[in-house]
Structure 1
Amino acid sequence: MPARIRRDDEVIVISGKDKGKTGRVLRVDPEKDRVYVEGLNIVKRHQRPTPGRPDSVAGVIEREGAIHASNVMLLDPKDNKPTRVGIEIHEGRRFRVARRSGTRID
């Protein structure tokens, strides 16, 4: 995954239990080709209180789980529809480009 999807991108899930839902990418794990999307793929984790840390949260915690990068598509900034991402080189710099509309993605 050569940086097609980055943190703070708006994406839509194209397969799985959250298909059709959109959200903002919280973090990316490029080694495993996984992304974490805000409010999607919520998993429950049972956590004990950490000794010596009074601010540690104990109990059942809900947080975002990983989604494989192939199961999300970037939303085109122009019309908010799913698009593939291309790479355009201009004056020696690489830019991501929405294939749907041709607009640059910042």
Structure 2
Amino acid sequence: MAENAKKQAQAGKAPKIKIRKGDTVKVIAGRDKGAEGKVIRVIREEQRLIVEGVNRVKRHTKVVNQGGRDGKTGGIITSEAPIHVSNVMLVEGDGVTRVGFRRDEVTKRRPDGSTYLGTRSVRISRKTGKEI
């Protein structure tokens, strides 16, 4: 799997990530194992997510007086660091589930008003088969 991701990265394509911004995920490995949070940001190129309240790190910043009023005040800033997508699972209902895709037939409309049959990709829960 990692080799495939490396090959895609070298080819200039970002690998597909099945988790999206706004999803609730549960950490299944690492220091914050068991923690749940909402996905704030997805970094496709690195296969990483920033999850609210998970993998928090502290950064010590120096006082910068340059720039007049826009100068930074020093101190310790706590923020979320990225976590690898393999260390989280999507939360659905009471537990966690894997994510799959299904193609549904839908009627689409052209700009001139005529309709035609097309397909739409839908994320589904592997556990229940329901649309996410």
1:6 corresponds to 2:20: yes
Residues 47-104 of structure 1 deviation map (CA, whole Å, 9 limit, x = unaligned): 234532537453110000111000000011xx23110000111121111101111111
Structure 2 counterpart of 1:70, from 86, 92, 98 = 86
Distance 1:75 1:55, change over 3 A: farther
TM-score (norm 1): 0.88
1:103 corresponds to 2:130: yes
Residues 8-66 of structure 1 deviation map (CA, whole Å, 9 limit, x = unaligned): 10000000000011000000101100001001100011223453253745311000011
Distance 1:88 1:96 in 2: 7
Distance 1:56 1:8 in 2: 31
1:16 corresponds to 2:30: yes
TM-score (norm 2): 0.72
Unmatched runs of 5 consecutive residues or more in structure 2: 1-14, 106-118
Q: Tell me what 1:42 maps to.
A: 56
Q: Tell me what 2:8 maps to.
A: none
- Indicate the structure (1 or 2) with the bigger Cα radius of gyration: 2
Q: Which is further off, 67-76 or 56-65? A: 56-65
User: Identity over aligned residues, as a percent?
Assistant: 45
> RMSD value over aligned CA atoms?
1.6
Q: How many residues align?
A: 103
Pick the structure with more helix per residue. 2
SS in 1 for 2:86: helix
Kindly provide the amino acid, as one letter, of the partner of residue 102 in structure 1: G
Distance 1:57 1:24 in 2: 29
